[in-house]
Structure 1
Amino acid sequence: MAGFAGLGRRLVQMIPIIIGITIVSFVLIRIVPGDPATLILGNHYTPEAAAAINTNLGLNRGILYQYWVFVKSALSGSFGHSYSIGDSVGHLIWQGLGRTLFLIVMAGIFTAALAIPVGLYAGLHRGRIFDQTTRVLLLVGYALPGFLLGVLLILVFGVKIPILPINGFGDGFLGHIQHLILPSITLAVPFSAVLVRSLRASVIEAMTADYVTTALLKGIPWHRVVSRHILRNAGMSVVVVFGVNLAFLVGGTVVIENVFSVPGIGSLLVSSVSTRDYPVVQGLTLVFAVFVLLVNLLTDMVHVAIDPRLAVA
């Protein structure tokens, strides 16, 4: 019951945060210079069409009325209508959301597959050649901008050694995986650098703990000490780091999807900002915010499941 009460409390706490995010996104998109109707219509601009857009968006009304139009459309799930694309915003978000989630899941899998063994081995062999080499390589990977790493991967595996697709989403499950390998690696490299450093530090700290010394004195085999004591306890902090950075990974998809032309909600956001498509930008901002909040909530729940003592706090 205490767990359900804590979950309910966290969900209630998310409400004012979401409201604040809607206000910030609503204000920021409106202070960008330029007339939305002009940018949306482009060469098809006419005073009548511009007046219709301004009326539908409520731009000829007060700011509070415009915000109410946005909130009402968000509560209905439609998020309004995109004038630059000519479709329901909710439908556009639903189309791109699955592709973005597919990319995030693949990036998370690549990250875990790289960071867990490398971080564990580096921590267990602190100061050795593997540890030192790994730290240098991952530092370079973390410092390298995502868009630049993506371009380098395109040049190597798409041009010099053309073995992987460099754009699009592909057809079918295997096609999706094949097309998202390079963007997933681009997202996973800096993410892995953070996790490796965190896991390495946690493993080194766990190796000096009394429970590890006691287990070794009892004659427990080293591999069991590593799996049952060192990795399990070191993994608690890594779960938090993984969850927090997974939330930031969502923001990274905005850039990477545009580099690899993945038709997800990240690339949709960039194109909508350039055309000042208010309903799309506001709807996507809200979706990104809710996703980040849910990831943080799920991270806390997993952390409590690993360490039940945190449920008391």
Structure 2
Amino acid sequence: MSSVRRIGLATLRTLGTVLPVMLGVVVGVFFLLRLVPGDPAQMILGERATPQAVAALHEQLGLDLPLWQQFGDFLGRLLTQGDTGPSLVSGSSTRDLILERAPTSLGIVALALLFAVLITVPLALAAARRPNGTIDHAVRVIPAIGLGMPMFWIGLLLIIVFAVHLGWFPVGGVGTGAGEPLRSLILPALAVSLSLVPPLIRSLRAQLLEVVTADFVTTLRAARIPELRIWTRHILRGGALPTLALLSVNAATLIGGTLVIEKVFAINGIGMLLFTSIGSRDFPVVQGIALTCAVLVVLVGIAADALLGILDPRLRRGSAR
């Protein structure tokens, strides 16, 4: 089968998986938000607003239309403009509001992924090289403790230790000086990554112990291949595949955790915008953020599948069939 045909089949298969998910997200986000108690017009105008003023704002915002008609307008705007509509509070485009804050949130996601890899790989390797040793027991116990700690609690601990007592990082917000934006995102990203690391370490350690007993590893050692090369180029590569798949499954936790941790560190990203919009019942903005997060989760899953195909050619051959 030609490479062009394989790429075409893979694209169609991906679209067949992604489109129903995205359609479900669009329908669910639109209708579930409107079941939440609270009147956006009443919240915008205040408690002392007259019924006539509230009714006029309902008409202006299109909230007096039937739900099916509101959904039709919402879907049409989404498909033609890539926008869920203007904010009910500020009147600004939802797309512009999200794009303005997206770099900060995406920076936390990227750093969290980097930290998760830098923490998981060395610890899993150290544990797998000497099973049931002191390091192995420590690596298995410490992540188990971390599993019982909520992400926001980890963030608060990092603030107390590294920001308040040591003064290495800012307590909150994003600085504007040279290198300050990156420095401001390190603790939030570390908090998110530490919540992802425990299951990743367990998975990678278990896979490494399984691969190290394979016949090809015995053959490599008989050929006098250096042990470090065997571990880094063969054992780690084989054991990383299930762990990478697990990371893609946890993409929703990664992105959702980023939104939550922004609130802890007072970072003006998409997460802060989400909480503000939920409080003011700003439906278009909440819908836009939910759809953006859904797209990010799907993109992370696609990227992970592509990386799995690069690391394991058998997956590419299987998909070609």
Q: 1:1-313 alignment to 2 at 5 Å?
A: 1=4, 2-42=6-46, 45=49, 47=51, 49-75=53-79, 76-171=81-176, 174-311=179-316, 312-313=318-319
Q: Structure 1 pair 56/253, CA: closer, same or farther in 2 (3 Å)?
A: farther
Which whole-Å CA distance do the structure 2 matches of 1:257 and 1:185 have between them?
12
The count of residues paired between Structure 1 and Structure 2 equals 313
**CA-to-aligned-CA distance 1:263-310 (integer Å, 9 cap, x gap):** 111121111111110100111111111111111111111111211211
Question: Match of 1:183, as an amino acid?
Answer: P
Which whole-Å CA distance do the structure 1 matches of 2:274 and 2:296 have between them?
15
Which whole-Å CA distance do the structure 2 matches of 1:235 and 1:16 have between them?
30
**CA-to-aligned-CA distance 1:65-94 (integer Å, 9 cap, x gap):** 111122122221232111223321111010
TM (norm. structure 2) is 0.92
Q: Structure 1 pair 266/202, CA: closer, same or farther in 2 (3 Å)?
A: same
Q: Structure 1 pair 238/183, CA: closer, same or farther in 2 (3 Å)?
A: same
> Is the contact made by 2:171 and 2:265 (CA closer than 8 Å) also made in structure 1?
yes
> Is the contact made by 1:142 and 1:189 (CA closer than 8 Å) also made in structure 2?
no
Which whole-Å CA distance do the structure 1 matches of 2:120 and 2:263 have between them?
26
Which whole-Å CA distance do the structure 2 matches of 1:256 and 1:49 have between them?
38
> Is the contact made by 1:41 and 1:84 (CA closer than 8 Å) also made in structure 2?
no
**CA-to-aligned-CA distance 1:8-61 (integer Å, 9 cap, x gap):** 331243122211111111111111111121123336845555334422442211
Question: Match of 1:182, as an amino acid?
Answer: L
Which whole-Å CA distance do the structure 2 matches of 1:188 and 1:52 have between them?
47
Which whole-Å CA distance do the structure 1 matches of 2:163 and 2:225 have between them?
50
**CA-to-aligned-CA distance 1:126-160 (integer Å, 9 cap, x gap):** 11111111211111122200111111222222222
Which whole-Å CA distance do the structure 1 matches of 2:98 and 2:214 have between them?
48
> Is the contact made by 2:105 and 2:259 (CA closer than 8 Å) also made in structure 1?
no
Which whole-Å CA distance do the structure 2 matches of 1:163 and 1:84 have between them?
38
Which whole-Å CA distance do the structure 2 matches of 1:236 and 1:274 have between them?
41
Following superposition, which runs of at least 4 residues in structure 1 exceed 6 angstroms of deviation? none
Which whole-Å CA distance do the structure 1 matches of 2:17 and 2:112 have between them?
29
**CA-to-aligned-CA distance 1:213-233 (integer Å, 9 cap, x gap):** 111122222112112221111
Which whole-Å CA distance do the structure 1 matches of 2:12 and 2:70 have between them?
31
Which whole-Å CA distance do the structure 2 matches of 1:68 and 1:122 have between them?
55
How big is the alpha-carbon RMSD for the aligned residues of Structure 1 and Structure 2? 1.8
Runs of at least 5 residues in structure 1 that lack an aligned partner in the other structure = none
Which whole-Å CA distance do the structure 1 matches of 2:43 and 2:197 have between them?
40
* Matched residue SS, 1:82: coil
Which whole-Å CA distance do the structure 1 matches of 2:179 and 2:251 have between them?
24
> Is the contact made by 2:258 and 2:271 (CA closer than 8 Å) also made in structure 1?
yes
Q: Which segment is superposed worse, 252-261 or 49-58?
A: 49-58
* Matched residue SS, 1:78: coil
Q: Which segment is superposed worse, 113-122 or 74-83?
A: 74-83
Runs of at least 5 residues in structure 2 that lack an aligned partner in the other structure = none
Deviation at 1:253, TM superposition (A): 1.3
> Is the contact made by 2:175 and 2:184 (CA closer than 8 Å) also made in structure 1?
yes
Which whole-Å CA distance do the structure 2 matches of 1:48 and 1:103 have between them?
45
Which whole-Å CA distance do the structure 2 matches of 1:153 and 1:299 have between them?
29
Which whole-Å CA distance do the structure 1 matches of 2:161 and 2:132 have between them?
32
Which whole-Å CA distance do the structure 2 matches of 1:49 and 1:302 have between them?
55
**CA-to-aligned-CA distance 1:169-201 (integer Å, 9 cap, x gap):** 222561111111111111011211121111111
Q: Structure 1 pair 42/126, CA: closer, same or farther in 2 (3 Å)?
A: farther
Question: Match of 2:159, as an amino acid?
Answer: I
TM (norm. structure 1) is 0.94
> Is the contact made by 2:61 and 2:88 (CA closer than 8 Å) also made in structure 1?
no
Which whole-Å CA distance do the structure 1 matches of 2:303 and 2:8 have between them?
13
